[in-house]
Structure 1
Amino acid sequence: MTLPPGAEIAGGLADDGRPPPDVVVEPDADVLARAVASALVARLAAAQAVHGTASVVLTGGGIGIALLEHVAALAAEPARERVDWTAVDVWWGDERFVPADSDDRNEKAARRALLDAVGVPPERVHAMPPSDGEFAEPEDAAAWYAEQLAAAAPAGAAVPRFDVLILGMGPEGHTASIFPESPAAHDDRPAFAVRGCPKPPPTRVSLGFSAINTAEEVWMVVAGEEKAPAVAMALSGSAGPVQLPAAGVHGTRATRWLLDSAAAGKLPGRG
């Protein structure tokens, strides 16, 4: 099943008036990455047709970088739908507070996988600061990033328009760098520092729910059997955002859970 770009979500509205999540399951992680890449190209092209520009928020991790590699491959195919990459703003949902040349940097992986290949202009790549840059403390780096978000936002808003915000999820249900039962799960700022993450590197900068949930579309891209219990819990509605942060994210227009069959293994009817 491939993801239909811009498709309306079926199933009525949730109790809070938002559309319920759209769940798409692909056979394996590679097929999932290719399907999401194709959908992302179509969604960004559609946004440019309406606004003249497009905006995407990237994630890291194996599946997150794999889909960017597939986007780069699509960009090299002349018969494919085209995105004007000079008119795409790129943001990040979170970043490891490590030196700029560290392989742990989501920015470094994204540049290698896609951004350098397609020629996104430097001024449109809104990277979170590294630890060896202008800011020695992650709190200062986060405050600067919040300022960048506000500077790009329309009047009265704290963040710019995000057409698509892509997230991954850890086995325990963390997303961006918001971990279960952590201070970040209670933080209402658009961006903040995160210290003491249970998954290394321990120091990071992350968007918060207040920024993530302004996106038109939030795409949760998840692969792997070890994540199946958290996927099932998040989609069942049985856990809140403090207990399971991935359950607390949503788009204003659409929320899509894009899974491989292993990650979907504990959903009803798939046992």
Structure 2
Amino acid sequence: MTDARPTPDVVVEPDAGRLARSVASALVARLAAAQAVHGTASVVLTGGGIGTAVLVEAARLAAEPEAAVVDWTQVDVWWGDERWVPGDDPERNEKGARDALLDAVGVPTDRVHAIPASDAGHAEPEDAAAAYAAELAAAGDGGVPRIDVLMLGVGPEGHVASIFPDSPAITDDRTVFAVRDCPKPPPTRVSLGFATINAAEEVWLLVSGEGKAEAVARGLSGTESPVDLPAAGVHGTRATRWLLDAAAASQLQR
């Protein structure tokens, strides 16, 4: 049986700053294109250094009249994962995204689909995961809603969202689930699963730094199992893009 997955695209920029600017520009263009077709656009955000830097650059573009091609009031924003911490904790991906982009561009409250925080009325992360799964299903008429771009960071050991190597999350077929005992603090999180990630039209893996070069090379080798390297198990329905700086790409064969 032939694998219908699209062959990954690989883009390498000289450094992290150039990578953030390039991805921000591509994101604005992709969301604008989605709005031209559908009237709305949807994006799944990631945290981390490069993920936040992309949002800062997107906010800068939004402030330039000639680049203001996205109607941010018509963008639905979701997250790939979230730490199980209070809503005002700086560890929250939501807080970082609001500070970097969402508040500046005026995304309406009802279009910001934040994963519930630990102080948002859910006793356990499993309850928060179930609530987020229900929100996704409501937006998607019972399934996963259209996701134009889903951005992911990649850890040095190859984790994506909060799916780590050798984790039960790898074989969990739910759209959203709680993850406990993560090897990276904080240990308790809520994450999208492969069922949601791989339903996105485009999946963009954003990777910066030499410390992640081995994971990048393994992820693009085509030989890795998601059990050992979760990044190897993600793909978009239309496109999968590895967006790298030179340091992250340093172990790729040219």
TM-score by length of 1: 0.92
State the AA in 1 paired with 2:159: H
Q: Are 1:204 and 2:209 counterparts?
A: no
How far off is 1:158 after superposition? 2.1
How far off is 1:144 after superposition? 0.3
How far off is 1:81 after superposition? 4.5
Q: Are 1:91 and 2:73 counterparts?
A: no
Does the residue aligned with 2:67 lie in a helix, a strand or coil?
Answer: coil
Taking the aligned partners of 1:114 and 1:15, their CA distance within structure 2 comes to 41
Q: Are 1:173 and 2:152 counterparts?
A: no
In the alignment, structure 2 segments of 5+ residues that lack a partner are: none
Q: Are 1:75 and 2:62 counterparts?
A: yes
In the alignment, what sits opposite 1:217? Answer: 202
Please give the per-residue CA displacement for 1:186-243, whole angstroms capped at 9, x wherever unaligned.
Answer: 1110000000000000000000000000000000000000100010001001211111
Please give the per-residue CA displacement for 1:76-127, whole angstroms capped at 9, x wherever unaligned.
Answer: 0001151000000000000000000100000000000000000000000000
Q: Are 1:147 and 2:147 counterparts?
A: no
Taking the aligned partners of 1:200 and 1:207, their CA distance within structure 2 comes to 18
In the alignment, what sits opposite 1:131? Answer: 118
Q: Percent identity?
A: 73
Taking the aligned partners of 1:258 and 1:139, their CA distance within structure 2 comes to 32
Taking the aligned partners of 1:190 and 1:25, their CA distance within structure 2 comes to 31
Does the residue aligned with 1:89 lie in a helix, a strand or coil?
Answer: strand
Taking the aligned partners of 1:234 and 1:70, their CA distance within structure 2 comes to 27
The counterpart of 1:254, out of the listed 239, 242, 248, is 239
Q: Are 1:111 and 2:103 counterparts?
A: no
In the alignment, what sits opposite 1:49? Answer: 36
In the alignment, what sits opposite 1:184? Answer: 169
Taking the aligned partners of 2:158 and 2:41, their CA distance within structure 1 comes to 29
The counterpart of 1:37, out of the listed 11, 14, 24, is 24
The counterpart of 2:10, out of the listed 14, 23, 47, is 23
Taking the aligned partners of 2:39 and 2:33, their CA distance within structure 1 comes to 9
Taking the aligned partners of 1:262 and 1:60, their CA distance within structure 2 comes to 20
Does the residue aligned with 2:65 lie in a helix, a strand or coil?
Answer: coil
* Contact kept? 1:88, 1:120, Cα under 8 Å: yes
- After the TM superposition, which of the residue ranges 78-87 and 61-70 deviates more from structure 2? 78-87
* Contact kept? 1:158, 1:190, Cα under 8 Å: no
Supply the RMSD in Å over aligned alpha carbons.
Answer: 1.0
State the AA in 2 paired with 1:89: D
State the AA in 1 paired with 2:229: L
Runs (4 or more) in structure 1 with deviation over 4 Å come to: none
TM-score by length of 2: 0.99
Aligned length: 254
Taking the aligned partners of 1:15 and 1:174, their CA distance within structure 2 comes to 26
Taking the aligned partners of 1:102 and 1:127, their CA distance within structure 2 comes to 14
Q: Are 1:229 and 2:183 counterparts?
A: no
In the alignment, structure 1 segments of 5+ residues that lack a partner are: 1-13
Taking the aligned partners of 1:250 and 1:193, their CA distance within structure 2 comes to 22
Taking the aligned partners of 2:4 and 2:120, their CA distance within structure 1 comes to 43
